């Protein structure tokens, strides 16, 4: 397997996925109830491509033990076996099956990234909504604290914090979630500010509604579209950060499979013209592109543009 034929296979995969996306779109438009059919029909092919890819990743992550031919950690052969049955993508520097590890890594990397993003949104979103609704000194305290956190380059700050608190999965999730929540805070505060000044919020305040009602019923439903779009984008950044940290050795710890560290562990092979270390990198790239396709479509919908 040379790098050239690797690129050719990649191209072939993209074509297959595009055709699959087109077919799924046709089927979905017919099958979906009429309320959603219009939304699905107007979704561009890129969005369908993204949805199909994300669906495949989710299935692989959830059903990893079913799809993977070997265990995540078992040493099954000598190191750096070439591609070929039963090790379809060869073996790594310790003789573990690459394909199995790639599939299990989907579960680890994507799962952890998803949890982290969720937590970041919960933190940042809640603080942003509170700041914009209450205003005054609460807004000042939150905003200045966020400014301080954002003033330090994120990756370096993450490295620093992880060195202090020690590297394990829980710390990893907490540190990245806190750092990323600053971005979510900025966005949710900004979009909520536009809603807070609306007359219907004023009417609810004058009615005597409490903070909970104002945030949950009057403001949140009107800012969900940009927040969901941001969720997709933020998710990409988070798992790129996790992969980067793993590549640097401070992320998910061995022997747990993870795309970032898999690139690092097998990096030497690239000097021999073997594309194996590119596989996890390609997995990261494909998911990033797919998520962005879907997010683009959602942003377009929430912006209300006609063309």
Partner 1 sequence: MADTDEILLSIRGLKIEGRSEEVWSEIVHGVDLDLHRGEVLGLIGESGAGKSTIGLAAMGFTRDGCRISGGTVTFDGIELTRSSVRTRRALRGKRIAYVAQSAAASFNPAHRLIDQCTESAVHHHVMSRSEAEHDAIDLFRRIQLPDPEDIGFRYPHQVSGGQLQRAMTAMAMSCRPDLIIFDEPTTALDVTTQIEVLAAIRDAVEQFGTAAIYITHDLAVVAQMADRILVLLKGDPVEEADTRTMLAEPQEEYTKSLWAVRSFKRPEKPLAPPEETPVVSVDHVTAAYGTLTVLHDVSFDIHRGRTVAVVGESGSGKSTAARCITGLLPPTEGTILFNGEELAADYRKRSWDHLRQIQMIYQMADTALNPKQRIRDIVGRPIEFYLGLKGKKKEERIRALLDQIELEPDDFIDRLPAELSGGQKQRIGIARALAAEPEFIICDEVTSALDQLVAEGILKLLAKLQDDFNLAYMFITHDLATVKAIADEVVVMKEGKVVEAGPKSEMFRPPHHAYTDLLLSSVPEMDPDWLDNLLKEREEAGVKIESAGN
List of residues contacting partner 1 (CB under 8 A)? 38, 42, 198-200, 202-203, 205-209, 217-218, 221-222, 306-307
Residues 37/29, Cβ–Cβ less than 8 Å: yes
Q: How far apart are CA 209 and CA 94, in angstroms?
A: 62
User: Both tokens of residue 169?
Assistant: 């999965």
Taking the complex as a whole, how short is the minimal distance between the CB of residue 225 and partner 1, in angstroms? 10
CB closer to partner 1, 5 vs 194: 194
CB closer to partner 1, 148 vs 198: 198
Q: What are phi and psi of 151, to 5 degrees?
A: -70, -20
Residues 279/3, Cβ–Cβ less than 8 Å: no
CB closer to partner 1, 154 vs 302: 302
CB closer to partner 1, 228 vs 248: 228
Taking the complex as a whole, how short is the minimal distance between the CB of residue 33 and partner 1, in angstroms? 17
Q: How far apart are CA 54 and CA 43, in angstroms?
A: 16
User: Both tokens of residue 303?
Assistant: 């912006």
Taking the complex as a whole, how short is the minimal distance between the CB of residue 305 and partner 1, in angstroms? 9
Taking the complex as a whole, how short is the minimal distance between the CB of residue 213 and partner 1, in angstroms? 9
Q: How far apart are CA 50 and CA 295, in angstroms?
A: 9
Taking the complex as a whole, how short is the minimal distance between the CB of residue 41 and partner 1, in angstroms? 8
Q: How far apart are CA 90 and CA 100, in angstroms?
A: 10
CB closer to partner 1, 154 vs 222: 222
The SS3 of residue 154 is: helix
Taking the complex as a whole, how short is the minimal distance between the CB of residue 111 and partner 1, in angstroms? 32
In eight-state DSSP terms, residue 75 is B
CB closer to partner 1, 27 vs 39: 39
């Amino acid at each position: 397997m040379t790098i050239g034929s690797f690129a050719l296979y990649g191209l072939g995969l993209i074509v297959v996925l595009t055709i699959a996306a087109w077919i799924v779109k046709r089927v979905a438009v017919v099958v979906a109830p009429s309320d959603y059919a219009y939304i699905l029909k107007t979704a561009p092919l890129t969005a369908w491509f993204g949805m199909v890819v994300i669906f495949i990743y989710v299935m692989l992550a959830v059903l990893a033990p079913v799809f993977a031919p070997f265990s995540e950690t078992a040493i099954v052969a000598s190191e750096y076996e070439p591609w070929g049955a039963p090790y379809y993508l060869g073996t790594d520097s310790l003789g573990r099956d690459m394909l199995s590890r790639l599939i299990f890594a989907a579960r680890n990397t994507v799962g952890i990234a998803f949890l982290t993003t969720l937590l970041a949104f919960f933190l940042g979103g809640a603080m942003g909504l509170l700041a914009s609704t209450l205003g005054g000194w609460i807004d000042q305290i939150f905003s200045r604290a966020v400014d301080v956190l954002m003033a330090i380059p994120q990756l370096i700050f993450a490295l620093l914090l992880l060195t202090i608190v020690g590297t394990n999965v829980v710390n990893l999730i907490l540190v990245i979630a806190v750092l990323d929540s600053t971005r979510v805070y900025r966005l949710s505060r900004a979009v909520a500010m536009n809603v807070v000044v609306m007359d219907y919020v004023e009417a609810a305040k004058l009615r005597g509604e409490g903070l909970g009602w104002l945030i949950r019923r009057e403001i949140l439903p009107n800012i969900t579209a940009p927040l969901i779009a941001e969720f997709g984008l933020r998710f990409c950044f988070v798992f790129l950060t996790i992969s980067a940290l793993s590549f640097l050795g401070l992320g998910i710890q061995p022997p747990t499979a993870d795309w970032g560290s898999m690139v690092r562990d097998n990096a030497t092979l690239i000097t021999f013209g073997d594309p194996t270390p590119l596989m996890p990198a390609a997995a990261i790239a494909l998911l990033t592109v797919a998520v962005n396709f879907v997010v683009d479509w959602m942003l377009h919908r929430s912006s209300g543009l006609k063309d």
